[in-house]
A and B are shown apart, each in its own frame.
Chain A
Amino acid sequence: MAHGWRSVRARRVAAATVRILVATGALAVAACGADEAVTLRITSWQSPEENAIDAVEFRSFEAAHPGVRIVNDPVSNSAEYREKVLTSIGAGTPPDVFLLDGIDVAAFASRDVALDLQPFAERVGVLLGLFFPQVVEPFKVGGKLLAFPKGFSPMVYYYNRALFADAGLAPPKNGWTQDEFLAAVRALTRDTDGDGVVDQWGTVLDQRLYAWQAWIWSAGGDVLTADGAHATGAVDQPEAERTLTFLTDLPRRGYAPPPSASGGALGFEQRLFYSGRLGLMTSGHWMIPRMRRYLEQGRVQLGVVSVPRTPGHQVKTPLFASGWAVPYNTPHRKLAVELAAWMVRADAQRRRAASGLEIPTLLTVAYESAAKDRTGMEMDFLWQVPYGGVPWGARVAQYREVEKAMMDLVDRVVVDRVSVREATREAAAVVDRALSR
């Protein structure tokens, strides 16, 4: 009896063991099978609206590449985005494709973490000769191409046509000068309700470097020396100091409201502009989607014009571009490069151009898009391209520190009331220290 019981128990144990083994085997097979599809991870700092546009491209890529799935993994904060991408590459878990900001090219190049796309460009159908050369340039470092550029924008001035007409001013023309600009902002600054307080300004002073870099360039100066090694010898030179004096005098003379604490990042100046209380505002193409509603409703009539130059000098404006890059250690190199190329092909650029986000980097698509534009602004944007320059961020790895020091420079003059000369000396010293590291 006892023997029989033991035998039954042994059979039960054996059956249970077999069941466990079968279940384990099935789990293992399922786990192995789950790895068959290739998943490509793509990341950017783009807004939900931009991601919705890109989702169309992802689906078409998946359709053209059976067995490939694309997961979009955006990061909302652009400062943290860069570090997250660098960290994931360093940790060996990189995204397969990531959006590279033109002003971060040097920071990524200094760490050698982005794949050189130059050798693969033609194989994946990216013919660089069809792109604006000024926009490909920021992504080239030491003979390598670190991204396929997808879109860009020069810095320009938007102007309110209605306010210009009310002030009896003719619309400004590309290539206009600082004197013409000053005359315009003087005429545009008004106390409309007669209460002794200015409630319509000619322009606004944005302290951030990207907003006034074009002014310095168009006056023949710069913020860094040609080799990008120092600020001393550039930002403290007469051309730069004269222009900075001109700019920082605007709020002092009442032609611009006092700059806001966050350098315009909060968008109050844009609200002044939309509500017809600002004649001129510097920005890029990225403002168009936000303004489109007001334009279509006829609540605001806008034009675009180049940043004013100093007589004797040519217009020069930074071209801010972004492009799709591939980490050197992606586990799916070929597919990743193909996806990066897919995202810059003509159809993808047309879709983004239709949303007004940016200027396409393909010449034909850019002009095709400008031809459809009824506001006339697109042609004025394209006018700037031959005068475009590479932003310092594409050449200097410590650009964010340069940017911050330059913003402090303007704050020191406007807020702390120190002289331009003293402020430029201080900023130059801070930047020199940062660049020497």
Chain B
Amino acid sequence: MTASHRRAAVLVAVVWAVATVGVAWRALRGVDRAARSHEALAMALSSRGTVPTPAWPVGLGARDSLAVRTEETPLVVRGPSGNVITAPVKDADDWDVIGAVSVAARWRERAVPVALPAAAALVFAATLLLAVPAVTGGSAAALTAGAATVFGAAALTTGARLRAAAHALAAVGHDATVLDRVALRVPSLSLATLALVLLAACAAVAVGVVRWHAAAAGRPVRVRETLNAWGFIAPSFVHLALFTIAPVAFLLWISVHDWDLLASDRPFVGLAHFRELGADPLFWRALRNGLVYALYVPVTMVAALAAALLLDQPLRGIKVLRVVVFLPYVASTVAVALAWQWLLHRDFGLLNAALAAVHLPRVDWLGNPSTALPALMLVSAWGQLGYMMVVYLAGLQAIPASLVEAARLDGADAWQRFRFVIWPMLRPVSTYLLLTGIIWSFHGFTLVYVMTEGGPAHATDVLVYRIYQTAWEFRRFDVAAAMSVVLCLLLLALTALQWRTVKGEPADA
């Protein structure tokens, strides 16, 4: 056992203690707020001066007494055991406070079932504590961690008592009265319980890792290296699991259930939403539009490569030109969309003014279903040109000048140098731009949202816009989730294609 292992174990115990105290503190604050809301309502009752109806005291113990004061002092309802709570009773309209009911929360009868998870956490933590002294030599940190866990369990138990009392109150009813629903609400502590259990589990794993590492000197190098590598990967993996894998799993879950924001009943429907999509012509239209829209990517690549070849010259002012070509890429997409909306407008647009100047008919670029999607593709190409050009420029500048020079000495003309030297060397760059460009084209939303809203007659309705509309306008999150799954699969297929293509590239390319 080295000093560094001891320090690690102490760190684990301290982090565990701080986190446990944090969780417990939050839980206690929630419980405290609920209790204070009861008191505040009871105060409102007393200040109103009405005669409270201490009717239906439920579950009061023999030694508990109910003391309701209606003077200026706040209403305090407390038994000797200190575990009596009160809730206001309102009139049938749920408005004016006309009385109060109180109830004693009995630990054994009501709190035990809810406190069980907390007790489990405590037992688990206690078992863990047995392991920590072996590492730390019974340090104060381990004791602090133990105390923090007890504190957490106490917080949960307090909440459990309040909750049990509130449930008992909810059972009290009368035709002419209602119990205040808000006052009866006690914060849920299930998350706090879960957090405590997870904290204890994490601490156990961490201590286990420290102990294992302390005894690692005798293990094979390969095993140690593998475990070290996993240790480095672990933070990224946790991030990936929380923010990528979990949302995707939730998306899959929604797509096979009838899911509504506020519905408590969310039955499993299997592939019903996918079947609905299959029968929806607008979904297929959006998918087809997306595929057509993606064609702007290769076209832009050609233009970007041409621009890169032109701007890869040692001329004065070339950097300014590069910046000019790159600017649209860094401009706000919404601003770009609004500007192009004006440029393409049938009556006020610059493009149509130019056409009119040479006596050509005006074109309703965004209002005509046959020109609307190409118009959006044009705007996308204009926006992406700068980015693709910069990537190509980087690719061009990475080609060894000796190769081009050797081809020149061999008598190759400009076209042959491009065809047999430059282009093969740029192939990985082109593959990357093509596939990432297509993937991004399927994410295209802003231009459609701002410029056409999917119109005219769904001519520019693409999948992401349809997902947005289905979820947020039609409130059909389940069907939108099914569409997202389809989009996800499509993009996965494209990514797989990219991998295969990259793997198939010649080694010298």
Contacts and interface: CB of A to CB of B under 8 A. Distances in A.
A427 B472 CA distance: 21
A400 interface: yes
B95 A261 contact: no
A228 interface: no
Interface in A114-130: 119-120, 123
B310 interface: no
B341 interface: yes
B473 A268 contact: no
A289 interface: no
Interface string A137-150: 00000000000000
A401 interface: yes
Contact of A79 (B372, B457, B458, B473): B473
A83 B93 contact: no
B369 A268 contact: no
Contacts, number: 95
A156 to B, nearest CB: 25
B453 to A, nearest CB: 4
Interface in B367-399: 367-369, 372
A90 interface: yes
B347 A262 contact: no
Interface size band for A: 35 or more
Interface string B467-478: 001001111000
Interface stretch (A53-61, A306-314, A341-349, A404-412): A404-412
Interface in A385-437: 398, 400-401, 404, 408, 411-412, 415-416, 434
Interface in A246-267: 257-263, 265-266
Contact of B33 (A35, A265, A434): A35
Contacts of A404: 469, 473-474
B20 interface: no
Contact of A411 (B93, B347, B457, B473): B457
A5 B37 CA distance: 51
Interface stretch (A217-225, A327-335, A376-384): A327-335
Contacts of B322: none
A260 B182 CA distance: 50
A144 to B, nearest CB: 12
B452 interface: yes
A119 B457 contact: no
A261 B455 contact: yes
B474 A400 contact: yes
Contacts of A258: 346, 364, 367-368
A398 B476 CA distance: 10
Interface in A74-90: 79-80, 82-83, 86-87, 89-90
Nearest to A87: B261
A271 interface: yes
Given A331-B37, A334-B95, A259 B456 contact: yes
Contacts of B125: none
Given A258-B346, A333-B182, A411 B262 contact: no
Interface string A65-107: 0000000000000011011001101100000000000000001
Contacts of B94: 119, 333
A155 interface: no
B249 to A, nearest CB: 20
A281 to B, nearest CB: 15
Nearest to A119: B93
A200 to B, nearest CB: 11
Contacts of B455: 261-263, 411
Interface string B383-423: 00000000000000000000000000000000000000000
Contacts of A87: 261
A4 B218 CA distance: 45
B453 A261 contact: yes
A111 interface: yes
A268 B95 contact: no
A266 B341 contact: yes
B262 A90 contact: yes
B337 to A, nearest CB: 11
A266 B367 CA distance: 12
A359 interface: no
Interface residues of B, number: 38
B262 A113 contact: yes
B451 interface: yes
B95 A415 contact: no
B460 interface: yes
B221 to A, nearest CB: 44
B453 A263 contact: yes
**Which of A87, A268, A271 has the most CB atoms of chain B within a 10 A radius of its CB?**
A268
A261 B473 contact: no
A411 B456 contact: yes
B458 A86 contact: no
A272 interface: yes
Given A123-B95, A416-B369, A261 B262 contact: no
Given A35-B36, A120-B95, A259-B456, A86 B182 contact: no
Contacts of A113: 262
B372 A80 contact: no
B56 interface: no
Contacts of B261: 83, 86-87, 90
Interface string B88-125: 00000111000000000000000000000000000000
A107 B93 contact: no
B474 A261 contact: no
Contacts of A266: 341
Contacts of B457: 408, 411-412, 415-416
Contacts of A271: 348
B272 to A, nearest CB: 12
A349 to B, nearest CB: 25
Nearest to A262: B453
B5 interface: no
Contacts of B368: 258, 415
Contacts of B369: 415-416
B224 interface: no
Contacts of B9: none
B95 A401 contact: no
B181 interface: yes
A272 B32 CA distance: 61
Interface string B183-200: 000000000000000000
B142 interface: no
Contacts of B95: 119-120, 123, 333-334
B372 A261 contact: yes
B345 interface: yes
Contact of B262 (A89, A120, A398, A412): A89
B473 A400 contact: yes
Contacts of A80: 472
Contacts of B182: 329-331, 333
B308 interface: no
B366 interface: yes
Contacts of B348: 268, 271
A76 to B, nearest CB: 12
A404 B182 CA distance: 39
Interface in B417-440: none
Contact of A265 (B36, B93, B453, B474): B453
A111 B475 CA distance: 12
A111 B262 contact: yes
A148 to B, nearest CB: 16
A107 B475 contact: yes
Nearest to A260: B367
A394 to B, nearest CB: 16
Ordered nearest first, which 3 A-B pairs have the shortest CB separation? A411-B457, A261-B455, A415-B457
Given A82-B475, A334-B95, 14 more contacts: A35-B33, A35-B36, A83-B475, A89-B262, A90-B262, A107-B475, A258-B364, A261-B366, A400-B475, A404-B469, A415-B369, A415-B456, A415-B457, A416-B457
14 contacts: A31-B29, A83-B261, A119-B95, A120-B93, A261-B366, A261-B372, A261-B453, A261-B455, A262-B455, A272-B347, A401-B474, A411-B456, A415-B369, A416-B457
